[in-house]
Amino acid sequence: MGIMLIMIPILTLLTAMFMYRYNGKREMLHLDLVQFMYGFVVFPLFFVWAKSFLFFLLQRWLEIEVSVTQMFLIDTFLSLVMLYLFAFIVIHSLTKTFSLKLERDPLYDLFEHSEYFHGWLTHAVLFGGIMLLMTVVAHINVFVPLQVEMSRWQFLLILLVAVGVGLVKFLIAWSTDLKEREFLRFVKLLLGLSLVVHMGSYFLFEPPFSIEYGAYWFAFVVFVTATTCSFLFHRSERAVRWANKLKPAKKKQGSQG
């Protein structure tokens, strides 16, 4: 185990040095391939290695008795530092990609490229990632019931909150819509698929309608609400006018004489 923890950073460093020869030659998700590998492959692996090495160091080599609370605080501090580093590495990967583009083409449209990251990539990952996380947590709850006590009215109040979350989720997707409403159609597809998965799980596993399965029913209601809004809101002119008010007003460009 100790030898592996020593070899992993060495192999990672050698791999990073080898990849540098392809700098500016390939792309992945509109990022330079080398910068993408540094930001989304090499550093995440290094992050996992650092946490594993810290745990191994405290438990095996130093033989220090560390309580659960102390281990949590140490791990949290390390994770916070690594997350800050990751943020700056991603910023560097993006700006380095812009620099390489400009070196090859002085007329390169930097705004259009940055709009792809601001619009499509980040929004798609955020919406899709949140839906995936909710689905995973909900299905864990299907097999591992919550050990909580709550009245039926409190449970129904939580589901009412889920209705509001589903409505807000759809309105956020609407307000961040991109060109030709392609992003909104993408979100609608994800909502529909998530709802189908939850409905399939209900018929397969039949989770009871109780607080013990509250995470599943919360996610189910969120997806039902958001999917229903995606079908109904575009048919109502009043709803369209109301939702459009949430979008930031665009400044009109006037000609100067």
Q: Which residue has the higher pLDDT, 68 or 20?
A: 68
Are residues 170 and 222 both part of a single domain? Answer: yes
Quick one: average pLDDT of 113-141? Answer: 87
Query: What percentage of the chain carries pLDDT values higher than 70?
Result: 85
Torsion angles phi and psi, residue 28, rounded to 5:
-140, 120
Q: Could you tell me if residue 116 is inside a domain?
A: no
Contact of 193 with 164, CB cutoff 8 Å: no
Specify the pLDDT at position 194: 93
Q: Could you tell me if residue 253 is inside a domain?
A: no
Give the relative orientation of helices 214-232 and 182-205 as an angle to the nearest 10 degrees: 140
Which one-letter DSSP state was computed for residue 45? H
Which residue do the tokens 């002119």 mark? 237
Are residues 225 and 136 both part of a single domain? Answer: yes
Residue 195 neighbours by CB under 8 Å, 6+ apart: 220, 223, 224, 227
Calculate the alpha carbon distances from 171 to 175, 190, 219, 225, 231 in Å: 6, 15, 17, 11, 13
State which residues form the domain around 139.
Answer: 123-244
Torsion angles phi and psi, residue 62, rounded to 5:
-80, -20
Specify the pLDDT at position 203: 93
Are residues 192 and 132 both part of a single domain? Answer: yes
Calculate the alpha carbon distances from 181 to 31, 120, 178, 210 in Å: 24, 12, 6, 38
Q: Could you tell me if residue 186 is inside a domain?
A: yes
Quick one: average pLDDT of 99-121? Answer: 81
Quick one: average pLDDT of 31-37? Answer: 87
User: In whole angstroms, what is the distance from residue 69 CA to residue 225 CA?
Assistant: 40
Q: Could you tell me if residue 249 is inside a domain?
A: no
Are residues 90 and 128 both part of a single domain? Answer: no
- pLDDT at position 221 over 90: yes
Q: How far is CA 153 from the centre of its chain?
A: 32
Are residues 234 and 131 both part of a single domain? Answer: yes
Q: Could you tell me if residue 142 is inside a domain?
A: yes
Q: Could you tell me if residue 256 is inside a domain?
A: no
Residue type, 24: G
Considering its fold, how many domains does the chain have in total? Answer: 2
Q: Please return the burial class of 225, using the count of CB atoms within 10 Å of its CB with bins 0-12, 13-18 and 19+.
A: buried
- pLDDT at position 178 over 60: no
Are residues 156 and 191 both part of a single domain? Answer: yes
Specify the pLDDT at position 193: 93
Query: What percentage of the chain carries pLDDT values higher than 90?
Result: 30
- Which tens digit of pLDDT belongs to each residue from 8-19? 777 777 777 777
Q: Which residue has the higher pLDDT, 161 or 122?
A: 161
- Which tens digit of pLDDT belongs to each residue from 43-91? 888 898 888 888 888 777 666 677 888 888 988 999 999 999 999 999 9
- pLDDT at position 236 over 70: no
Are residues 160 and 237 both part of a single domain? Answer: yes
